[in-house]
Amino acid sequence: MAYLKIEHIDKVFERNGVKSEVLKDISLEIEQGEVISIIGHSGCGKSTLLNLIAGLTDITEGTIALGDAYVTAPGPDRAVVFQNHSLLPWLTVYDNVNLAVAKVFGSRKSKAERHEWIMHNLDLVQMGHAKDKRPAEISGGMKQRVGIARALAMEPKVLLLDEPFGALDALTRAHLQDAVMEIHERLGNTMIMITHDVDEAVLLSDRIVMMTNGPAARIGEVLEVPLGRVRKRLELAGDRTYLKCREAVLKFLYERHRFVEAA
């Protein structure tokens, strides 16, 4: 049985009596420990699908099950990292992570255990040294590292990443991609990531879910990325399998975009 099972999902938004069908008949099975990227043009419902998995948006039709429980609301078993880090500016790095830890483990861990767990997760993203700084005192990439630490500190079954590196410069983005790969290597956690970046999708993913254009977007293709772990970006630059996967995604996106233009 799949770890996360998405079955025949439809999502329709209604405003002022006008209905807008965003997603149509989405089905996908994800195994424990997989890294999945969802890619597609703007407006194809990528973030809506992620929000449905997170329980932040109600499902119109269909079901999502994580393990033996159906997703009906937000929960700590599905932690989200947004493009905007969403840190509280008046709290330190430590206290921002502590918010999540206190919520999830307040009754299960002692104060000393919670402190150790917070520092463990900050160290995972190499931010332990900045625990007493406030968000205004650290860079954009460092803020995203803290956001990832806060999400991991909830010990989620699935880590959901909504274009987490989209607002960062290329070098910072590359460093954080490497950090995410290192975290996955150590934890073996299940990740679902929304991205517009083809190279990022191929570098990080076990499978790439390619969405058709909206409205009523569907899953157009699912591409297996048969690259071993651990992945080194410089070694992959000329790797035939990497280049073949990259070409397949670009071809899908280009053909879909051309179809929209022709229409």
Residue-wise pLDDT tens digits, 12-50: 998 888 999 999 999 999 999 999 999 998 888 899 999
Q: Are residues 169 and 141 in the same domain?
A: no
Our CA dihedral for 198, 199, 201, 203, rounded to 10 degrees, sits at: 160
CATH code for position 8: 3.40.50.300
Say how many domains are in the chain.
2
Half-sphere exposure of 231 (CA within 13 A, CB side): 27
C-alpha–C-alpha distance, residues 101 and 155, integer Å = 9
For residue 9, tell me if it sits in a domain.
yes
Q: Are residues 28 and 149 in the same domain?
A: no
CA distances from 164 to 89, 95, 96 (A): 19, 21, 17
Q: Are residues 55 and 164 in the same domain?
A: yes
Scan for tokens 């299960």, then name that residue: 108
C-alpha–C-alpha distance, residues 83 and 164, integer Å = 4
For residue 131, tell me if it sits in a domain.
yes
For residue 234, tell me if it sits in a domain.
yes
For residue 203, tell me if it sits in a domain.
yes
For residue 177, tell me if it sits in a domain.
yes
Domain-ending residue, one of 110, 128, 155: 155
Q: Are residues 127 and 247 in the same domain?
A: no
Residue 237: its pLDDT value, please?
86
Q: Are residues 132 and 201 in the same domain?
A: no
pLDDT confidence tier of residue 262, bands split at 50, 70 and 90: very low
Spatial contact of 198 and 44, defined as CB atoms under 8 Å apart: no
pLDDT confidence tier of residue 263, bands split at 50, 70 and 90: very low
For residue 82, tell me if it sits in a domain.
no
Exposure letters 81-102 (e unless 16+ CB within 10 A, then b): bbbebebeeeebbbbbbbebbe
Domain that holds residue 129: 88-155
pLDDT confidence tier of residue 215, bands split at 50, 70 and 90: confident
Residue 86: its pLDDT value, please?
84
Q: What are phi and psi of 8, to 5 degrees?
A: 50, 50
For residue 30, tell me if it sits in a domain.
yes
pLDDT digits (tens, 9 = 90+) for 156-177: 999 999 998 887 888 999 999 9
Q: Are residues 97 and 33 in the same domain?
A: no
C-alpha–C-alpha distance, residues 51 and 56, integer Å = 5
Strands 18-30 and 4-15: antiparallel
Q: Are residues 145 and 243 in the same domain?
A: no
Does pLDDT of 77 surpass 70?
Answer: yes
Residue 19: strand pairing partners: 14
Q: Are residues 204 and 228 in the same domain?
A: yes
Q: Are residues 95 and 64 in the same domain?
A: no
Map residue 131 onto helix, strand or coil: coil
Q: Are residues 13 and 28 in the same domain?
A: yes
Sign of CA pseudo-dihedral 208, 66, 156, 142: positive
Q: Are residues 141 and 232 in the same domain?
A: no
pTM of the predicted structure, to 2 decimals: 0.92
Residue 153: its pLDDT value, please?
94
pLDDT, average across residues 49-58: 95
Domain-ending residue, one of 155, 176, 205: 155
